[in-house]
Amino acid sequence: MDFPFYTPKDALPVGGAVRDLLLGRRPKDLDYAALDPEKAAREAQRRLGGSLFPLDPERGHYRLVLGGRTLDFIPLEGSPEEDLLRRDYRMNALLWRRGAVFGLRGVEEDLRRRVLVPVREENLYQDHLRSLRGVRLAASLGLGLPQESRRALARHARFLQAHPEALPARERVKEELLGLLLSPRAAFGLRLLQRVGLLGVYLPELALLVGLEQGGCTTFPPGSTP
């Protein structure tokens, strides 16, 4: 079996694109781990066209934009197996190599149950956006968060409340919140944010409204000014 999209030499499809294919979805955003991300990105541009620009050249992150599709290239650090162990959720810790999908132990059960489970709780602290991303993925992909996953996210939310200096960049937060609010299960996502404590971290104004009872409508006589 071949990966259904072009793959440059020495680059491996990883993460969300592989996950979406296994969930029966057609991904429009593709992630590749490569020994030389810039070289792989330029090879893809020569083959496919599009606009190439560095996301973070110091870290070796590059993006190729092809109409409504994006191809992101990041460094492959260590072995492919070590790369998977550094990812956020087991359902995202997937790679396509030589016609087969590789993942961590337990991912088959996660895919069957359609749930998100962190690879390791400490991985949430390697990129503090990961707890918010988990809620967004649950809302946008129709996935569940088991109780242990919710407890891990709640502990991370308390850490962020106590360490506001650790909050991710606003641009990254905005992208995740937009994805959540535009998802088919936006209301579920907002309730989940509240239940794990992330609503107060990212939308404190809304957190103040939880439990607030709304009054009835007031009518005014014709010609009067409210």
Q: Name the nearest CA neighbour of 81 among 112, 107, 114.
A: 107
Q: What are phi and psi of 146, to 5 degrees?
A: -60, 165
Tokens found for residue 62: 């590059």
Tokens representing 34 are: 């490569």
pTM comes to 0.84
Q: What pLDDT was estimated at residue 220?
A: 46
How high is the pLDDT of residue 28?
Answer: 82
Alpha helices in 124-165 (DSSP H): 130-141, 147-162
Angle, to 10 degrees, between the axis of helix 130-141 and the axis of helix 147-162? 140
CB 102 within 8 A of CB 63: no
The tens digit of pLDDT for each residue in 168-187 reads 999 999 999 999 999 989 99
Residue 211's pLDDT is what? 60
Ranges of the chain with pLDDT below 70: 1-2, 207-226
Question: What was the pLDDT predicted at 225?
Answer: 44
User: Which two tokens mark 189?
Assistant: 């996502």
Distance from C-alpha of 7 to C-alpha of 12, rounded to nearest angstrom: 7
In one-letter notation, the amino acid at residue 86 is R
**pLDDT digits over 186-199, tens only?**
999 999 999 999 99
Domains of the chain listed by start with CATH number: 1-105 (3.30.460.10), 114-200 (1.10.110.30)
* Of 186, 185, 188, 122, nearest in space to 156 by CA: 122
Tokens of 73: 């290239």
